[in-house]
A and B are shown apart, each in its own frame.
Chain A
Amino acid sequence: NAGVTQTPKFQVLKTGQSMTLQCAQDMNHEYMSWYRQDPGMGLRLIHYSVGAGITDQGEVPNGYNVSRSTTEDFPLRLLSAAPSQTSVYFCASSYDGGLYNEQFFGPGTRLTVL
């Protein structure tokens, strides 16, 4: 199993550009989520999905869109990049949305917005 994969690993954008961060998992997990990691702030939840066709907002959803057309894929779209979106983005998955399930994380995408 590849686990959770993310592409790209690094990305530089100009303010106003849009892009999609890709995330895929091959563990048949129902629950997938996106976090951003900023210095001194830990990981903050952007969006999550409890299954194909179902998504919901997390703590910091503004400026991001998600969709979940398949169990495997959960892309994150930046609509109009802003310098405040400079961060490291992690995709994670778990068996389902139960409280007890540990999450499996991807390697992260380091995004810089100029």
Chain B
Amino acid sequence: AQKVTQAQTEISVVEKEDVTLDCVYETRDTTYYLFWYKQPPSGELVFLIRRNSFDEQNEISGRYSWNFQKSTSSFNFTITASQVVDSAVYFCALSVGISSGSARQLTFGSGTQLTVLP
């Protein structure tokens, strides 16, 4: 069975601080993908990034960066110089194949509520 743990339920920072959101996953599959989604107060989930299990390169996109470490089964997300608009719930998700068919099973973590104060 797959599992995604986001131990930080809520994080509050002051604008311009850096913040890291933790994600730890469990799977026995050797091929899988990891995702981060953002859910702003408007409610709609927005895709941020994907990483496959064979690519441990870290990635930076503007103020966002992701650190993928298979050795610790972690896929952490860092926001540099946070802004009020970053306030949202952030979900980490794990995608693995379903043995009975071609579709994948997507397992979400419970989410981290990030509040950036002005």
Please say whether chains A and B are actual partners in one complex: yes
Are A56 and B104 in touch, CB under 8 angstroms?
no
Chain B residues whose C-beta falls within 8 Å of the C-beta of A33 in the assembled complex: 106
A99 in contact with B101 given A43-B91, A45-B106, A88-B43 (CB within 8 Å): no
* Contact with B50, one of A45, A102, A104 (Cβ below 8 angstroms): A102
Are A42 and B91 in touch, CB under 8 angstroms?
yes
Q: B117: CB under 8 A from chain A?
A: no
Chain A residues whose C-beta falls within 8 Å of the C-beta of B31 in the assembled complex: 99
Q: A90: CB under 8 A from chain B?
A: yes
Are A40 and B103 in touch, CB under 8 angstroms?
no
Are A99 and B96 in touch, CB under 8 angstroms?
yes
A104 in contact with B47 given A41-B110, A99-B96 (CB within 8 Å): yes
Number of interface residues of B (CB under 8 A): 30
Are A100 and B44 in touch, CB under 8 angstroms?
no
Are A56 and B35 in touch, CB under 8 angstroms?
no
Chain B residues whose C-beta falls within 8 Å of the C-beta of A53 in the assembled complex: none
Q: B64: CB under 8 A from chain A?
A: no
Chain A residues whose C-beta falls within 8 Å of the C-beta of B111 in the assembled complex: 42
Are B9 and A40 in touch, CB under 8 angstroms?
yes
Are A45 and B43 in touch, CB under 8 angstroms?
no
Are B45 and A97 in touch, CB under 8 angstroms?
no
Q: B102: CB under 8 A from chain A?
A: yes
Chain B residues whose C-beta falls within 8 Å of the C-beta of A44 in the assembled complex: 108
Considering the chains assembled together, what is the distance between the CA atoms of A40 and B9 in angstroms?
A: 8
Are B105 and A45 in touch, CB under 8 angstroms?
yes
Which 8 pairs show the lowest CB-CB distances between chains A and B?
A97-B103, A42-B108, A102-B47, A105-B45, A43-B108, A42-B110, A99-B104, A99-B95
Besides A42-B109, A99-B32, A99-B52, 6 other A-B contacts (C-beta < 8 A): A40-B110, A42-B91, A42-B108, A50-B101, A50-B102, A105-B37
Which residues in A have some Cβ–Cβ distance to B below 8 Å?
31, 33, 35, 40-45, 48, 50, 56, 88, 90, 92, 96-100, 102-108
